[in-house]
Amino acid sequence: MSPPQRYSFVNARPQTKAEKRQTRTAIRSHIGRWTQENQQKTEGSRSAASTRASPELSRTDSLSPGESVQSQSQHHPRLKVARPGDTDSSSSASNFDQESTSDDVDDDTGLTVTAPPRLRPRLSPASRSTSHSFIQVLGSGVLDPFQTYPSAFPSSLISQCHEYSLQVVWPGLTPRSVSGSESAAIKGWFPMALNDTVALHSLLFGALSHQRLNLLKGSTQPDDPAVIRLEQDMRRCEAESITLINKALRDPNNVITDAILVSVLAMATNAWDLTLQRFQTQPATQPVFDPLLKSLQWLDVYGLLSAHPIHAAGLVQLVALRGGLKNIETTGLAAIISYSGVIQASRTLTQPVFPFIPLADDGDRTATLWGMLGTCPSELRDEFTYSSLFNLGLTVELAVVWVAIQRYEHGVEIFVDGALPDLDLSRLCDRRNLIQHTLLSLPSHTDLAPAARPRPIYEPMRLAMLIYSLTVIFPLPPQTAPIALLTRQLKAALRESDMRSSWSSSHQAQRLLMWILVIGGVAVRDVAEERLWFVAALGRMSARTGIKKFDDLKKNVLKRILWLDRACDAAGRSLWAEMLELGG
């Protein structure tokens, strides 16, 4: 019986002459052993060769201590995985031997795997230009066939989480652009998961959390065995991640790497025990509107997660120590940290702690709504349909959000209708997130600088747009969206603005007030007393303006302000029916 096969892992980009000598010795030994084994197979019987057992390799046997340190060094050198018995092993090793004699060594963060012959055609440059990337074709189990993950956790668990992240989580979290070949998270985060111990366990935690929350969002109960198993694995990954993060941060020689940032991000955005408590104590309710694209960037999942305040504060500090999001180099990481800040600010109605960073990589990380619209404040004031509202306190900053939402809605409608099949979802995410970021950053009426004239419509308009955005444009799940607080503030702002006098100065102001009343009335669907107040006010305005049918209201008022038909019509008609019943 022939001896069991051994696998050699070598550093393909040695940094010193000693490492080069060590690598050459390992390769020559490998070639000699491979040649000897093939000679023995030729001389031996074919039956003995055919019954040769398939090799098994544990993570602890795959690397010698010296090679393990090299493979997880700060530079993450490129690894070459060579399999004895492979027809290309000798040629690959010979080529590498020639390359390794050079003193000029390039630093490369890539990972090269010698794949089985049956899979090599799919890795050719021509095949990579197709719609399926090499990660999607191979799957994580084949990308690391020897299961050399930097973790003591079961390889089956790690492979399962990698597959879930690659196929489900990351493509949705960072949709690839039309011109891109792959999702930003797959390109930037998967290599970290393969090479960095801290990032691996945190990303495992994130995959398990997403999978668990998807089950809870459905009909699965918290005491279901599948949920309980996921929670047990989550606890282990969370504990290991926190231990490794603390160890890395305590090291005085360690720098704040992107791997540490992605790990703290996973911890900061997911206090999973508080999320479970919400599912157990707060039954899910239907949203007041029926938003389109509510799963864009997994907002329906990540919007449910409770943030961990201590870890969230730590993330802010680490980003500041790093010099800001602009210094983060890993593809998609800065954009997702910014996105997480928008989600948290939307739940707490505070200004985002991070600046907006776009997901689409155009080399410009200073995107603004003005740039998106291609206009300037003076042009907006001249071209804006509701220009008379500036005299009542509408600001150009609020107006640009208004126009940006109108254009965003138009793009969504075209996409949903199928007239724009090649819509760049990464840019659509950027537009939506930038709108929400800008809207949350607008000051309240009390925080505005003193003005010469009163601004009666500013605060009601700002609050109504926040309600509309959180239910239609940036739709948080009903369990976490602060709609009840916003509607109370909206009612108080309308009363303070004196609706009878301030809003009767022009037809534009009256249309705006009717839109605000519709948005507020829909939002308080489940609070009878508050709903009645908005319905009664809407009835008085409809009598004053002579609007008697909902279709006339939608055509002459709602569509001229903000209204996405497919998302809003059902709720609007229900409110209008209540108003007619109350008046009749």
pLDDT digits (tens, 9 = 90+) for 537-546: 999 999 999 9
User: Alpha-carbon distance 480 to 345, whole Å?
Assistant: 11
pTM (2 d.p.): 0.74
Q: Report, in angstroms and rounded to the nearest whole number, the Rg of the chain calculated over CA atoms.
A: 29
One-character DSSP codes across 113-132 = E---GGGGGGGSHHHHTSSS
More confident residue, 139 or 395: 395
- Mean per-residue pLDDT for 281-305? 89
User: Alpha-carbon distance 309 to 267, whole Å?
Assistant: 10
Query: For the stretch 214-248, what's the b/e string if a residue is b when 16 or more beta carbons lie within 10 angstroms of its beta carbon?
Result: bbbeeeeeeeeeebeebbebbebbbebbbebbeeb
- pLDDT tens-digit readout, 555-566: 999 999 999 999
Per-residue pLDDT at 147: 58
Q: If pLDDT is split at 50, 70 and 90, which confidence band does 20 have? A: low
User: Alpha-carbon distance 160 to 453, whole Å?
Assistant: 62
Both tokens of residue 350?
């505070």
SS3 of 231-248: the string is HHHHHHHHHHHHHHHHHH
- pLDDT tens-digit readout, 434-465: 999 999 999 999 898 887 677 899 999 999 99
Per-residue pLDDT at 111: 28
Per-residue pLDDT at 401: 94
- pLDDT tens-digit readout, 227-263: 899 999 999 999 999 999 999 999 888 889 999 999 9
* pLDDT-above-70 percentage for the chain: 71
> What is the helix (H) or strand (E) element at residue 28, kind and residue range?
helix 17-43
- Mean per-residue pLDDT for 112-129? 32
- Mean per-residue pLDDT for 147-170? 88
Per-residue pLDDT at 468: 98
Q: If pLDDT is split at 50, 70 and 90, which confidence band does 552 have? A: very high
* Residue 124 predicted with pLDDT over 80: no
One-character DSSP codes across 168-231 = IIHHHHSPPPTT-SS-HHHHHHHHHHHH-HHHHHHHHHHHHHHHHHHHHHTT--TTSHHHHHHH
* Residue 23 predicted with pLDDT over 70: no
